[in-house]
């Protein structure tokens, strides 16, 4: 009887120990799963981990934005303006442009004046000039408004913008890296003992300085283009302006304008004819002499 009770007790102990081991294993698995979940959440919160689908990525500093009108509003924006004008009084218009350039502290970078002859019976020659102006960007709007008051017709206007903020910041960062490298190379050069090390360090230092100065020149070019807007201005002299509002003039005014243009063309036709006669005088004299000689010989033979 005792042996049977002992065997029953041993069986119960074995069953209880087995159940307790299974429970410990389940708890270990649950703790392991929870630790994995915690590690995943910690990794997601670290800056080097990959963002989840709900993560919001902030834009880089210096990225270009646009306002409601679509114009770039970045920190570093290069503007360009192209204008085309027609005028009846060429000299007055060019004088006005140059006076406005002085008034707004702009300068003429390039100018080219030409003379064209459209053709026709009038033979009238018309002048045209192209300017490349550098206008302070802060005064650009006032300068363009002042051009509107000229006695000339604005045929076209184009304004372009280019945001170079990101390139400008990247160049600044590269220059700072090169400056730090230059300082380290200088310190190593002072401690160098062998000739080979000195030569190698000097070559590396020279290349670093050259690259830094090249990038510095790029920044200076950017600053010049940003601070002074390039304005391409083209002025053409015309006998009449191509303003579309002229099609709506009264009949009497249109007749008067046509008559004045006709008289203007006839006047220059007479001038061109007189100039042509002056050029042809030597040829007319030679032709007259040859004709006189031939007439004299023919008359003598007839007698």
The answer to whether residue 73 scores a pLDDT higher than 80 is no
Whether 37 is in a domain gets the answer no
Least reliable range by pLDDT among 71-75, 153-157, 244-248, 249-253 = 244-248
E-strand stretches of the chain: 77-87, 107-116, 126-136, 153-163, 228-237
CB contact at 8 A, 130 and 234: yes
Task: Give the neighbor-by-neighbor strand order of the sheet with 77-87.
Answer: 107-116, 126-136, 228-237, 77-87, 153-163
User: In this structure, are 180 and 140 located in the same domain?
Assistant: no
Helix (H, G, I), strand (E, B) or coil at 250: coil
Range of the domain at 173: 165-228
Lowest mean pLDDT segment, chosen from 18-27, 143-152, 187-196:
18-27
pLDDT tens, position by position, 249-289? 567 766 776 776 677 677 777 877 888 889 889 888 989 88
91 occurs within a structural domain: yes
**Is residue 158 located within the same domain as residue 98?**
yes
In terms of domains, do 156 and 173 share one? no
**Average pLDDT over the chain, rounded to an integer:** 76
Is 20 a residue whose pLDDT tops 70?
A: no
303 in any annotated domain: no
Tokens of 255: 């007749």
Count of structural domains within the chain: 3
Q: Does residue 148 sit in helix, strand or coil?
A: coil
Residue 115, domain member (yes or no): yes
**Average pLDDT rounded to a whole number, residues 167-196:** 92
For residue 121, the model assigns a pLDDT of: 43
Q: Is residue 20 in some structural domain? A: no
Sorted by sequence, the CB contacts under 8 Å of residue 112 that are 6+ apart come out as 129, 130
Instruction: Write the pLDDT tens digit of every residue in 159-172.
Output: 999 999 999 999 99
pLDDT at 263: 72
Selected residue with higher pLDDT from 12 and 203: 203
What pLDDT, on the 0 to 100 scale, is given for residue 173? 96
Same domain, residue pair 132 and 85: yes
pLDDT of residue 124: 66
Identify any residues that bridge with 85 across adjacent strands, giving them in sequence order.
Answer: 154, 235
For residues 121 and 102, membership in a common domain is answered with yes
- We report the CATH number of the domain holding residue 105 as 3.30.70
Band of the pLDDT at 194, cuts 50, 70, 90?
Answer: confident
- Cα separation, 18 vs 261, in Å, equals 118
Asked if residue 111 is part of any domain, the answer here is yes
Give pLDDT, residue 54: 35
Query: Is the pLDDT at 229 greater than 90, yes or no?
Result: yes
In a domain, 186, yes or no: yes
158 and 182 co-located in one domain = no
């Amino acid at each position: 009887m005792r042996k049977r009770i002992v065997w029953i007790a041993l069986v119960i102990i074995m069953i209880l120990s087995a159940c307790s081991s299974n429970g410990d294993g389940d708890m270990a698995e649950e703790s392991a799963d929870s630790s994995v979940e915690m590690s995943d959440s910690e990794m997601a919160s670290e800056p080097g981990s990959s963002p989840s689908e709900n993560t919001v990525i902030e834009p880089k500093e210096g990225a270009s934005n646009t306002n409601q009108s679509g114009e770039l509003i970045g920190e570093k924006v290069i503007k360009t303006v192209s204008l085309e004008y027609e005028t009846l009084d060429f000299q007055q218009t060019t004088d006005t442009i140059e006076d406005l350039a002085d008034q707004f502290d702009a300068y003429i970078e390039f100018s080219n004046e030409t003379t064209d002859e459209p053709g026709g019976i009038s033979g009238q020659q018309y002048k045209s000039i192209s300017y490349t102006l550098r206008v302070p960007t802060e005064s650009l709007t006032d300068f363009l408004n002042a051009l509107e008051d000229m006695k000339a017709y604005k045929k076209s206007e184009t304004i372009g913008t280019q945001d170079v903020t990101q390139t400008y910041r990247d160049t600044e960062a590269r220059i700072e890296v090169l400056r730090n490298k230059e300082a380290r190379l200088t310190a190593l050069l002072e401690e160098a003992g062998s000739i080979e090390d000195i030569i190698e360090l000097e070559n590396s230092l020279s290349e670093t300085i050259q690259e830094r100065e090249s990038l510095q020149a790029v920044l200076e070019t950017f600053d010049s283009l940003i601070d002074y807007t390039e304005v391409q201005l083209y002025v053409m002299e015309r006998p009449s302006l191509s303003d579309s509002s002229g099609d709506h003039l009264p009949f009497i005014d249109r007749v008067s304008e046509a008559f004045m243009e006709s008289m203007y063309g006839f006047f220059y036709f007479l001038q061109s004819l007189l100039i042509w006669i002056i050029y042809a005088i030597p040829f007319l004299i030679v032709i007259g002499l040859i004709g006189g000689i031939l007439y004299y010989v023919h008359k003598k033979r007839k007698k």
